[in-house]
């Protein structure tokens, strides 16, 4: 974790900051992969690698995965509602609770607005960082921990969706642009 992130505490907009940070990191990784592509001499291997990079940006969730994603967003909304009443149980001030509830609602909106596997991965990474920010707000019982709730009911379902390509379908219009191009086999393809 970088030193700039360690200084981040609970403040309005902290989740958006984390999303931007994750997006910058993804962009850096993408640029690094593109440099690796320049090194790969086998045209077929390079084409397959480019295809897989682009496919992440054009995959949208199938219905079952979309339901899990929506459930994760609903849980973020639920957490925001509950924390607005039980903030004292988590050693939160009323002002901190308002900020945390606002950030949880932002998480819900970001989750539901993710249109591709690529965007979902960025949001997943940002939520993972956000769990660290919430770690200082402890409940007496672990089962009511904010971080545990985020991991169990938001991150875990999103991870299940992200972890398998078959949870995502290719958008027909972008997939068809590949034409007669050699398409790599993905899980679930025949």
pLDDT-derived band of residue 169, with 50, 70 and 90 as boundaries? low
Structure tokens of 77?
Answer: 């909304």
| pLDDT tens-digit map of 36-54 | 767 666 666 667 777 776 6
From the number of C-beta atoms within 10 Å of its C-beta (0-12, 13-18, 19+), residue 108 rates as: buried
Distance from C-alpha of 21 to C-alpha of 71, rounded to nearest angstrom: 25
The whole-number pLDDT of residue 138 equals 80
| pTM of the full structure | 0.67
Collect all residues with Cβ–Cβ distance below 8 Å to 64 and sequence separation of at least 6: 167
Q: Is 117:160 a contact under the CB 8 Å cutoff?
A: no
Measured from the Cβ of residue 41, the count of other Cβ atoms closer than 10 Å reads 7
Q: What is the pLDDT of residues 77-133, one digit of tens each?
A: 999 999 999 988 988 889 999 999 999 999 999 999 888 888 899 999 999 999 988
Average pLDDT over residues 146-168: 86
Length of the chain: 190
CB-based contacts of 180, cutoff 8 Å, min separation 6: none
């Amino acid at each position: 974790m970088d030193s700039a992130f360690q200084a981040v505490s609970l403040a309005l907009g902290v989740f958006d900051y984390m999303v931007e940070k994750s997006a910058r990191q993804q962009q850096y990784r993408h640029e690094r992969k593109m440099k690796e592509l320049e090194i790969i001499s086998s045209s077929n291997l390079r084409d397959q690698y480019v295809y897989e990079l682009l496919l992440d940006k054009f995959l949208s969730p199938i219905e079952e995965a979309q339901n899990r994603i929506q459930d994760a967003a609903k849980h973020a909304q639920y957490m925001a509602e509950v924390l607005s009443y039980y903030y004292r149980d988590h050693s939160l001030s009323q002002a901190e609770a308002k900020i945390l509830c606002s950030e949880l609602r932002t998480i819900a909106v970001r989750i539901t607005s993710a249109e591709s596997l690529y965007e979902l991965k960025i949001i997943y990474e940002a939520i993972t960082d956000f769990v660290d920010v919430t770690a200082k707000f402890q409940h007496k019982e672990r089962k009511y921990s904010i971080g545990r709730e985020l991991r169990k009911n938001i991150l875990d379902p999103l991870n299940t969706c992200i972890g398998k390509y078959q949870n995502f379908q290719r958008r027909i219009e972008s997939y068809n642009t590949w034409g007669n191009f050699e398409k790599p086999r993905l899980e679930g393809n025949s």
